[in-house]
Amino acid sequence: MLRRLYQWVIDLAERPSATWALAGVSFAESSFFPVPPDVMLVPMCVARPARAWYYAGVCTIASVVGGLFGYAIGALLYETVGLFLIQLYGYGDKVDAFAQAYAQYGHWIILIKGLTPIPYKVVTITSGFAHYNLFWFVVLSVITRGLRFFLVAGLLYWIGPAAREFIEKRLGLVTALFAVLVVGGFVAAVYLF
């Protein structure tokens, strides 16, 4: 089943609609969706290494726009939608402390948490709730999300066919490592947030 799913994503990378799907996942992940765009970015870069930079750019732009949506949820709808989403991800009791930390370390919080597998939607919603400076939120989001996605795309671009061969030979291991990163990000967010 895992191999069929992998092949489906690789085949999806060849379709014209793949870029739109990648943008949709990147947008949603920054505001409310639990699955990171890497589940599409990595196979798409592996399938078409020559387009890796383009895919990273799509992820970056869509993620920042999605981050603005998450910011709006935090700033305008925190008591309803924002609080529900924050509690859904298990961070409800830590938002006030996080908002206070923005006063001293806002820039660093966005930069560091935007690079990690810690769910970025928590950062975007809390940034809106804390009324963090919107200009700096966008600038720092472009830097951190761009760095994250271009780093992944760059590695896959330079490794190219060797990455595809490695992933296909060790699909179970790669999937397990990816799952550990995602779950580890959620766990780290709970204890480091």
Q: Once rounded to an integer, what is the mean pLDDT over residues 56-85?
A: 90
**How far apart are alpha carbons 33 and 120 in whole angstroms?**
10
On whether the CB atoms of residues 22 and 62 are closer than 8 A, the answer is: yes
Confidence of residue 188 (pLDDT cuts 50, 70, 90): low
On whether the CB atoms of residues 132 and 102 are closer than 8 A, the answer is: yes
**How far apart are alpha carbons 91 and 84 in whole angstroms?**
10
Confidence of residue 64 (pLDDT cuts 50, 70, 90): very high
Neighbours of 69 (CB within 10 A): 18
The per-residue pLDDT for 65 is 97
The per-residue pLDDT for 71 is 94
On whether the CB atoms of residues 67 and 26 are closer than 8 A, the answer is: no
pTM for this predicted structure:
0.75
DSSP letters of 119-159? -HHHHHHHHHHTT--HHHHHHHHHHHHHHHHHHHHHHHHHH
Q: Quick check: 190 pLDDT over 60?
A: no
On whether the CB atoms of residues 123 and 94 are closer than 8 A, the answer is: no
Q: What is the DSSP letter of 1?
A: -
